[in-house]
């Protein structure tokens, strides 16, 4: 049970403990809710006192049409969403991918349903795959902002969607599917497999489509590797995540929260097991990180005491629930927090530019709204409560601190990783702006503050 005490919750918490129910006291109501929801997702054990619902299957005629569409597709694509993880459909979906030789890509929380290093995973060519696919099967993936609403120019105008979902209200949202398969995702996938058992079919692995995807994956991976290998300091996101990925245990829980930190981290940090990644999700909710990490640590403590929880936070995202560090230390949960610190939201300013900026007036009138205080020592929050804190500025310091943190199962750690304040992701395939513009802090100082100190309130 997760909660925050106060009348009448204090009495309820005491009563639950008398019944043998463990109580985890959080510092904020939102974090308690996030943690409770994550436990249900990770374990599949929900607290509602009702019988499991019946397993629903899709209409046979609709399954026939879907199988026919796939057989006739020139450039097919499977998208594996969070719903597939909820449905525990990993075995059936993997069988479909391997039996039919189909390319797939996961949504952020669909990562790990099939391992990211699977040869059919085309996540490294995500934009190209979405733009050129002619038939797309959505397994528990919904056409919201994460998938650009299924609309051009991210997709072909005439792309055909096959939507597999348990929720009838979600079928046809934003884009009308060519085929809607309403039912349990695992059961519906089994129905599709039965169709391809009756009439065996495989997508040609040497097709032009596979060649396009492999070439794009190769070029994108080369671009990311080039960014990761840069020796300049401060580090960029890719350098940080490259060195983190090198040391991460394959079975660890990865919690991710932030803007660029979450988006870039998703492309570099690999997931190999289902339901082992938690992030801000469909609603992009900032503040979930530490609550999710606490939930994952509680689950790991029960099921696999040696399993690690890695919580990757942007410096802005960390601020939403930073006081839960005390909760982590109070219950001695060996979580490793990585705060990727660029001094801002999306981008920030280096300390010298910050000091120069303040010469033009009060921070409330001259500081870009996306900026945070440069060189904030977030690691001291962890050490204040008895955990271990590290301040790192180089790849060598990052490697050493992460290695020490992974070796210590007795205490939580926070690694404060300083990066280039204006570091960004590599160029995207389209010009669609999915984030608030950050060009404000890219201009020279004289452009930012051309008229001298501000006057007035």
48 within a domain of the structure (yes/no)? no
Residues spanned by the domain of 15: 2-43
Within a domain: 176 = yes
Q: Please report which helix (H) or strand (E) contains residue 277, including its range.
A: strand 277-278
Instruction: State the alpha helices, DSSP H only, in 385-440.
Output: 395-407
Q: Answer with the one of 193, 215, 237 that is the final residue of a domain.
A: 215
For residues 106 and 28, membership in a common domain is answered with no
Number of domains in the chain: 3
Tell me, yes or no, whether 376 and 292 share the same domain.
Answer: yes
Do 439 and 340 lie in one domain? The reply is yes
Write b or e for each residue in 320-340: b if 16 or more Cβ atoms lie within 10 A of its Cβ, otherwise e. bbbebbbbbbebebbbbbbbb
Cβ burial of 162 (10 Å; 0-12, 13-18, 19+) is buried
Q: Per-residue DSSP letters for 367-397?
A: S-TTB--TT--THHHHHHTTSEEEEE-SHHH
The whole-number pLDDT of residue 47 equals 60
Residues 310 and 395 in one domain: yes
Q: Are 139 and 83 in contact (CB under 8 A)?
A: yes
Same domain, residue pair 208 and 239:
no
The pLDDT value recorded for residue 6 is 86
Whether 292 and 255 have beta carbons less than 8 Å apart is answered as yes
Q: What is the 3-state secondary structure (H, E, C) of 320-339?
A: HHCCHHHHHHHCCCCCEEEE
Of 395, 349, 342, give the one whose Cα is nearest residue 231: 395
Q: Please indicate, yes or no, if residue 52 is contained in any of the structural domains.
A: no
Instruction: Answer for the pair 382, 330: CB distance below 8 angstroms, yes or no.
Output: no
pLDDT at 442: 40
Q: How many CA atoms lie within 13 A of 241 on its CB side?
A: 25
309 and 370 in a common domain:
yes
Whether residue 185 sits in one domain with residue 268 = no
Q: Say what the pTM is.
A: 0.90
Q: Return the axis-axis angle of helices 208-228 and 237-247, rounded to nearest 10°.
A: 100
- Is the Cα torsion angle 27, 24, 87, 255 positive or negative in sign? positive
Domain with residue 423: its CATH number is 3.40.50.970
Which pLDDT belongs to residue 217? 98
- pLDDT, tens digit only, all 457 positions of the chain: 999 988 888 999 999 999 999 999 999 999 999 999 999 899 887 666 677 788 999 999 999 999 999 999 999 999 999 999 999 999 999 999 999 999 999 999 999 999 999 999 999 999 999 999 999 999 999 999 999 999 999 999 999 999 999 999 999 999 999 999 999 999 999 999 999 999 999 999 999 999 999 999 999 999 999 999 999 999 999 999 999 999 999 999 999 999 999 999 999 999 999 999 999 988 888 999 999 999 999 999 999 999 999 999 999 999 999 999 999 999 999 999 999 999 999 999 999 999 999 999 999 999 999 999 999 999 999 999 999 999 999 999 999 999 999 999 999 999 999 999 999 876 654 433 333 334 333 433 334 444 444 444 4
Cα-based distances in Å from 333 to 283, 306, 307, 327, 407: 27, 11, 11, 9, 14
Same-domain check for residues 283 and 422 = yes
- For position 157, which CATH number holds? 3.40.50.1220
Say yes or no: 322 and 413 in one domain.
yes
Q: Which of 416, 435, 445 lies closest to 370, judged by CA?
A: 435
267 assigned to some structural domain: yes
Determine, yes or no, domain membership for 220. Answer: no
Of 215, 237, 267, the position where a domain reaches its end is: 215
Same-domain check for residues 27 and 171: no
Closest CA to 430 of 219, 128, 99, 62: 128
Domain ends where: 215, 239, 266? 215
DSSP state letters, 151-181: -TTSS-TT-EEEEEES-GGGTTSSS--SEEE
Task: State whether 67 and 35 are in the same domain.
Answer: no
Closest C-alpha among 119, 115, 118, 111 to residue 140: 111
For residue 398, the model assigns a pLDDT of: 99
Residues 255 and 373 in one domain: yes
Asked if residue 356 belongs to a domain, the reply is: yes
């Amino acid at each position: 049970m997760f909660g925050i005490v106060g009348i009448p919750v204090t009495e309820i918490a005491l009563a639950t403990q008398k019944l043998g129910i463990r109580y985890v006291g959080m510092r904020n109501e939102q974090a308690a809710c996030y943690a409770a929801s994550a436990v249900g997702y990770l374990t599949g054990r929900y607290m509602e006192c009702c019988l499991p619902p019946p397993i629903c299957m899709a209409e046979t005629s609709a399954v026939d049409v879907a199988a026919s569409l796939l057989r006739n597709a020139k450039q097919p694509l499977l998208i594996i969403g969070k719903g597939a993880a909820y449905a525990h459909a990993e075995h059936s979906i993997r069988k479909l991918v391997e039996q039919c030789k189909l390319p797939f890509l996961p949504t952020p929380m669909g990562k790990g349903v099939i391992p990211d290093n699977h040869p059919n995973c085309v996540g490294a060519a995500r934009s190209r795959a979405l733009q050129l696919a002619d038939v797309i099967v959505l397994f528990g993936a919904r056409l919201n902002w994460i998938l650009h609403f299924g609309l051009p120019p991210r997709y072909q105008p005439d792309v055909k969607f096959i939507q597999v979902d348990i929720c009838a209200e979600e079928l046809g949202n934003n884009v009308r599917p060519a085929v809607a398969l309403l039912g349990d995702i695992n059961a519906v996938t089994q129905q599709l497999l039965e169709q391809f058992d009756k009439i065996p079919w495989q997508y040609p692995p040497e097709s032009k489509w596979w060649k396009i995807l492999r070439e794009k994956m190769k070029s994108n991976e080369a671009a990311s590797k080039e960014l990761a290998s840069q020796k300049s300091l401060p580090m960029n996101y890719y350098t940080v995540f490259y060195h983190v990925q090198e040391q991460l245990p394959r079975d660890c829980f990865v919690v991710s929260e932030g803007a660029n930190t979450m988006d870039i981290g998703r492309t570099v940090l690999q997931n190999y097991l289902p339901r082992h990644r938690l992030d801000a999700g469909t609603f992009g909710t900032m503040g979930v990180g530490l609550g999710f990490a606490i939930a994952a640590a509680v689950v790991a403590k029960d099921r696999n005491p040696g399993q690690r929880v890695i919580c990757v936070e942007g410096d802005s995202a960390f601020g939403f629930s930073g006081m839960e560090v005390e909760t982590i230390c109070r219950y001695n949960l060996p979580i490793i927090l990585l705060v990727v610190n660029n001094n801002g939201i999306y981008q920030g300013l280096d300390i010298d530019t910050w000091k120069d900026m303040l010469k033009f007036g009060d921070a409330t009138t001259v500081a870009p709204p996306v900026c945070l205080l440069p060189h904030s020592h977030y690691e001291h929050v962890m050490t204040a409560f008895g955990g271990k804190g590290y301040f790192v500025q180089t790849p060598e310091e990052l490697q050493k601190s992460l290695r020490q943190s992974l070796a210590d199962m007795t205490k939580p750690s926070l690694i404060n990783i300083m990066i280039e304040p204006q570091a960004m992701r590599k160029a995207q395939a389209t010009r669609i702006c999915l984030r608030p513009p950050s060009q404000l802090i890219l201009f020279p100082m004289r452009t930012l503050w051309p008229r001298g100190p501000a006057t007035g309130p």
